[in-house]
Amino acid sequence: MPISRAPFSQAQILHLMKTEFSRARRYGYPLACLLMKPDRVQLGYLGISPTQFRESIHRELARLVAEKTRDHDHLGMVEDDGFLVVLPHTDAESAFIVADRIRQAFTGLQVEGTDVELTLSLGIAACEDRDTLFFDTLLSQAEMALEWATESGGDRVETFRRERYTGGEAGPTSG
């Protein structure tokens, strides 16, 4: 069983993402990032404190990400209940496979003391060429994809597509 890696703080993960983005642009390799957020977490406050509930979810999600990603991928906390995973040398298609693997493993997790069914929404953005000039653009794209996932009912993975953002695509791209 893999050793669980503790998530980086928001400042640390953003610094790592900026560093990996610079390397990807310099050496011409793909870089993907996943933004993840548990769906409907507020429903789980039955029988245990909200803090215990959140900590249990965070611990389980960190364990799952450690199991489903490579040692050189980076996991960090963002905002309240969000996580960012930075995936160097990973294109959008491969990131989708990883994200869906995490989503499926997360679905059905039980937090002791509750009967809430947990689900996870994920947004993916990838930089596969040198068109993306800034790392925060990549992060904004992942945020938009996560928003699409949650607006579509959650428990899904959405990949940022420029065509959808600019209105050139009829429907969502998800799994």
Provide the whole-model pTM: 0.86
Q: What is the pLDDT of residue 5?
A: 72
Q: Please state which architecture CATH assigns to domain 10-166.
A: 2-Layer Sandwich (3.30)
Domain boundaries, given as residue ranges, for the chain = 10-166
Determine the pLDDT at residue 166.
65
User: What is the mean predicted confidence (pLDDT) over 85-107?
Assistant: 96
- Taking residues 100-113, what's their average pLDDT? 87
CA angle 50, 56, 59 (to 5 degrees): 140
- Rounded average pLDDT over 149-174: 77
pLDDT tens for each residue of 19-34:
999 999 999 999 999 9
pLDDT in tens, 28-53: 999 999 999 998 765 445 667 778 88
Strand residues in 39-169 grouped as ranges (E):
74-78, 82-88, 120-127, 157-159
